[in-house]
Amino acid sequence: MKRIVWVGFHMEGRDAFQKVSSSFNVVGCISLKEEQSAKRSGVIDYRTLADTANVPYFEIDHINDESSIALLNELNPDILIILGWSQLLSEEVLAIPKLGTIGAHASLLPALRGSAPINWAIINGLRETGNTLMWLNPGVDTGEIIDQISFEIDDFDDCKTLYDKVAETNSTMLLNALPLINEKGKIGAPQEETDEPILPRRRPKDGLIDFTKDAWSLYNFVRALAQPYPGAFFYADGIKCIVWQASYVSSKIDAGKNGEVHAHLYATRPENCGIVVCTDGDGSFIINQVEVEGQILMAKELHDKFPVKKIVFDE
């Protein structure tokens, strides 16, 4: 059976690692050191997963460091599997495994090549995306495709629910592909050529809310950046306010200046209360939960912080 080395830090790889390590020859698990993982979103504890699976565990700063390359050569993999990893692999690293390196990209390649494809898919209002299992090469998401699975983006999804779908399809595709690879060697097909631009990397500062946009765009923006990501935010009275939950109403119930609180929404459950914020276009945007200086504001506290007729953001 082929020797597999697993590389990852993100939650999207948890289920796949557990299933692959229980059925195939995983000879090592590599993750990030704490000081590196602290800078990233969606991090999980791979040490515990590896210990439970009886797989040797290692931590690194960067996959292309000399020490990481020495470790990979020592582990002598036939296949590297990299799921949920933000560092691009050098050609020297890609040359180490005998068969190649398998990765996944959370889109239906060649669409949405580049960074943060799930976040961008929601922000851009797509109704469908998917996940691609492929062989990695020096290009940006241009390797041969092993398998693809599509899934819907509905009005209730956020980045976490879509990453749950990504995690599920990671497992499905790997469990389907690895027996064939063990039997036949490298499998896959080249990608179609496309002129679609590569998605830019998203940084925390890119989460600033633009209240001149329409209500549906703002709803998409908030749910695209929900936990485990840093969140969409605005500044009020010089203080950062992170919007963790928002709602959308298809009819227009606000009238006023963009960013102005039009009304307070009341409900028997605090998480369903909110403030109706004026926006352009059709529909209405409602903020249900805001974090201010480490405190979560909902219901009365949210209403008190943002009274009717107040502009919620610093102009």
pLDDT tens digits along 33-80 = 988 878 787 889 999 999 999 999 999 999 999 999 999 999 999 999
The yes or no reply on domain 204-305 and CATH 3.40.50.450 is: no
Measured from the Cβ of residue 309, the count of other Cβ atoms closer than 10 Å reads 11
Task: Provide mean pLDDT across the span 229-235.
Answer: 94
pLDDT at 255 over 80: no
Residue 72, both tokens = 């990979």
Write down the CATH number for the domain with range 4-184. 3.40.50.170
256 — pLDDT class (breaks 50, 70, 90): confident
pLDDT of residue 218: 97
pLDDT at 166 over 90: yes
CA distances from 71 to 20, 74, 103 (A): 21, 5, 19
pLDDT of residue 37: 78
Q: Which amino acid is at 102?
A: I
Enumerate residues 6+ apart whose C-beta is below 8 A from 196.
110, 111, 112, 113
Residue whose C-alpha is closest to residue 286's, from 227, 222, 231, 236:
222
pLDDT of residue 284: 93
Residue 137, both tokens = 């090469």
pLDDT at 194 over 90: no
Query: Is the Cβ–Cβ distance between 270 and 237 less than 8 Å?
Result: no
Query: Is the Cβ–Cβ distance between 268 and 235 less than 8 Å?
Result: no
- Using CA of residue 112, residue 118, residue 119, residue 125, what is the dihedral sign? positive
pTM of the model: 0.90
CATH 3.10.25.10 in the chain: give the residue spans: 204-305
Quote the percentage of the chain above a pLDDT of 90.
Answer: 83
